Amino acid sequence: MPAHRPAPVPLPAHLSWRPGHFTLTRDTAVRTSPGAGPAADLLRTLLAPATALPLPPSPDGTVVLALDPQLRGLGEEGYGLTVGPDALLLRAAHLTGLLRGVQTIRQLLPPEALSRTPRRGTPWRLPCAEITDVPRHAWRGFMLDVARHFQPVSLLRRYVDLLALHQLNVLHLHLTDDQGWRMPVAAYPRLTEVGGRRAESMVGPAGSTGFDGVPHQGFYTRAELTDLVAYAAARGVTVVPELEMPGHARAALAAHPELGNDPGRRLDVWTRWGVCDTVLAVDDRVLDFWRTVLDEVMEVFPSPHVHIGGDECPTTEWAASPAARARAAAEGLPDTDALRGWFLGRIGAHLVGRGRIPTAWAETGEGLPPEFTVMTWRDPEHTRMALKRGHRVISCHHRAAYLDYAQSADPAEPQGQPGAVVDLRAVHGHELPDDTETSGTLLGVQAELWTEFAATADQVDRLVFPRLCALADRAWHGTTPWSGFHDRLRAHGARLAALGVRHGPLDPYAPLPHRSRKEQS
Ligand code: ACM
């Protein structure tokens, strides 16, 4: 691609360059069709900090944003963009498609357009082009674990903008875990008052013996979360809440010991990393607790999908509990291990009754009713099994999507989750099975950042970028060649710099000096 041509990440499905360019100036005005106003507002909001362009509405505007039912074939998110020397025309059948096109307009401008501070003197030029764009996968997500380390809502808003720039459409918030509860629940204030704070944190990976002696705490207000949902919606991003059960629930148990298998026992919010043996009891009070909590969650988060965790639930406490054994027998279950699926099924039914889609981590691809959307993470085979069982599936395979692993074997890498290296190429090459011969649906793909080793915004950025760019290319376009992505990513570095995003190496596969051009292509 010639140097003067922008290199979008992700790559649009169909892009043809044309001669000439279109320039945005102080005189450029925007014409919108009925219903397209929010896309024009987003364009103005996003371009204002760097360009200070007013882009006023006008029936004679040369930037045209139009809802056009003729583009229905491009679906909810598809759009057409024509940049000519005298006009720019963005069309889509739905508002979401226009929001995607706005992000492409940003990427066609010089990288300075993404700056958060004024960049006077830059000509705001876009090369002429014809783009017809539609995503390969409907679900293009990023999960942030705010339980292990809390992050202020300002970081979440910044990430919504970064997701939207990369045409990603889901921010999945892992809001509760053994080490912290971050969502306020009016019916149970102790969840955040007690569960939102831990005394200290383990230093090093699970099983380490050192602790930092530093309390860690934080939780969101309901207003912050409500505002975040609206902020994300204006950018075409859905915020999906996750509340973990029946394992990974130690923070809830610290606040409410009566929900445990030994109600007399006092527990702390967990200060360790790893899988905690303490899990919730399986009685009706616990189910009622979750129904109340989730009803409040659904008031704040309109997302169709509501994630209830379900992973890594040791069953030793249930096996030892007469009440749990009696419950398993009364429900006709073969053993106490089956209580996990039973528990999730009961809570899932509550969500279905409220018109939502229960979502959980797939442990083995077994044990959940088909109405669950599952996130497969352990093994690509689980993705295939879940599709055969008829689930909607999001692939989160840890070796291609877990950004808490190191991105290279370089000893200078910051501390990450031990056990694997997830490099850029692995993320870009995320293997996704075909769902056509199954009764299930492959919804898409999602990256996750578990934050045992990411306490600060700087650490979060450096683990997430540039790997999230590779996921975005994979999720939106499908399969672009690695070499082309790699070239685009190097150019994309100027955009990340303009945005102030700190990142890991953009160029871990620099061509060896003696490779011929043929080998590199
Ligand atoms: C997981 O990584 N425990 C979903």
Angstrom distances, CA of residue 316 to CA of 175, 236, 259, 279: 25, 43, 16, 9
Mean pLDDT of 338-360: 97
Helix (H) or strand (E) holding 85: none
Specify the pLDDT at position 512.
Answer: 38
Say whether both 121 and 175 belong to one domain.
no
CA distance 450 to 459: 12
Say whether both 381 and 491 belong to one domain.
yes
pLDDT tens profile 435-447: 898 999 999 999 9
Q: Which domain holds residue 121?
A: 14-133
Give domain status of residue 108, yes or no: yes
Question: For the domain that residue 324 is a member of, what is the CATH number?
Answer: 3.20.20.80
CA distance 318 to 316: 5
Say whether both 120 and 262 belong to one domain.
no
pTM over 0.75: yes
Name the closest-CA residue to atom 2, ligand 1. Answer: 377
Say whether both 194 and 338 belong to one domain.
yes
Say whether both 49 and 192 belong to one domain.
no
Decide whether any atom of ligand 1 lies within 6 Å of the 379 Cβ.
no
Atom number of ligand 1 nearest to Cα 375: 4
Mean pLDDT of 298-325: 98
Mean pLDDT of 276-292: 97
Share of residues in the chain with pLDDT > 70 (%): 96
Name the closest-CA residue to atom 3, ligand 1. Answer: 311
Q: Which of 122, 170, 166, 159 is nearest to 23 (CA)?
A: 122
Contact 10, 167 (CB under 8 A): yes
Strand 417-421 relative to strand 124-133: parallel, antiparallel, unpaired? unpaired
Domain final position from 69, 102, 133:
133
Say whether both 145 and 170 belong to one domain.
yes
Angstrom distances, CA of residue 487 to CA of 91, 117, 304: 29, 27, 37
Question: For the domain that residue 39 is a member of, what is the CATH number?
Answer: 3.30.379.10
Q: Catalytic amino acids?
A: 177, 248, 312
pLDDT tens profile 464-482: 999 999 999 999 999 889 9
Give domain status of residue 6, yes or no: no
Tell me the CA–centroid distance for residue 377 and ligand 1, in Å.
Answer: 7
Side-chain-facing half-sphere of 131: CA atoms under 13 Å: 31
Say whether both 486 and 467 belong to one domain.
yes
Residue 257 CB coordination number (10 Å): 14
- pLDDT at residue 514 greater than cutoff 80: no
CA distance 441 to 272: 37
Higher-confidence residue of 508 and 212: namely 212
Tell me the CA–centroid distance for residue 135 and ligand 1, in Å.
Answer: 27
Say whether both 387 and 241 belong to one domain.
yes
Place of tokens 């039912």: 69
CA distance 28 to 61: 7
Read off the pLDDT band of 409 (50, 70, 90): confident
Read off the pLDDT band of 414 (50, 70, 90): confident
pLDDT tens profile 230-239: 999 999 999 9
Say whether both 207 and 81 belong to one domain.
no
Mutation to probe ligand 1, out of 307, 312, 397 (largest number of atoms < 8 A from CB): 312
Say whether both 106 and 164 belong to one domain.
no
Mutation to probe ligand 1, out of 244, 377, 395, 451 (largest number of atoms < 8 A from CB): 377
Mean pLDDT of 358-364: 92
Name the closest-CA residue to atom 1, ligand 1. Answer: 311
Domain final position from 133, 149, 168:
133
CA distance 143 to 240: 9
Say whether both 102 and 151 belong to one domain.
no
CA distance 40 to 65: 7
Strand 124-133 relative to strand 14-24: parallel, antiparallel, unpaired? antiparallel
Mean pLDDT of 142-151: 98
